[in-house]
Homo-oligomer: A and B are copies of this chain.
Amino acid sequence: MRVLKFAILGLLYRQEYSGYDITSQFKKEIGQFWSAKHSQIYPELRKLVDEGLLHFRTQIQGEKLEKKMYTITEAGRKELLAWAISPEPLPETEKDAFMLKMYFIHTLSKEEAKTLFQDQLQQRQDKLVYLQQQYDDLIPVFGTENTADAMYFDHPHLGHYLVLTKAIAREQSYVVWLEQQMKLFL
């Protein structure tokens, strides 16, 4: 399906980035829903240039460090748009190794299961705190909340906002489910 291809095209839709920059982006908000290592990104960039979807110029950083700044071409934009409007089918499976362990809960003692469970709850709660902090940092620049609407479709940070609120919803749902099932260990 070559999702990485479209992730890169999407990132380059609004600005020029180096391979390193793209790697960094995947460590930020969008990393909650897609990411790749630099070892996958650099070959993909090359492929996209070969396919005529990107081009690059070499820029000198400091004295002699060369970096390649990539830009999306018209052909690239066209492919990106075609992908972006295509309806996204649900995956049959959303892999979750913790839930696989839960399916096999009968292999564990009550104490062992409780420990595993509480560890997962703690991790999810910590992540939730982290995401909520990110949300609090975004809201001043975004300006929604309390004013009921003031939600602009054309706001430049809307994607950022959607990704963050979705990640928070996901973690909250996980935490609530874990807390509810804790009754098993009373």
Contact = CB atoms under 8 A, between A and B. Distances in A.
Interface residues of A, number: 75
B149 A183 contact: yes
Nearest to A102: B162
A185 B149 CA distance: 11
B13 A104 contact: yes
B181 A92 contact: no
Contacts of A26: 93
A104 B3 CA distance: 13
Contact of A163 (B29, B99, B158): B99
Contacts of A166: 99, 102, 177
A113 B153 contact: yes
A87 B90 CA distance: 28
Interface in A99-118: 99-108, 110, 112-113, 115-116
A6 B102 CA distance: 12
Contacts of A108: 81, 84-85
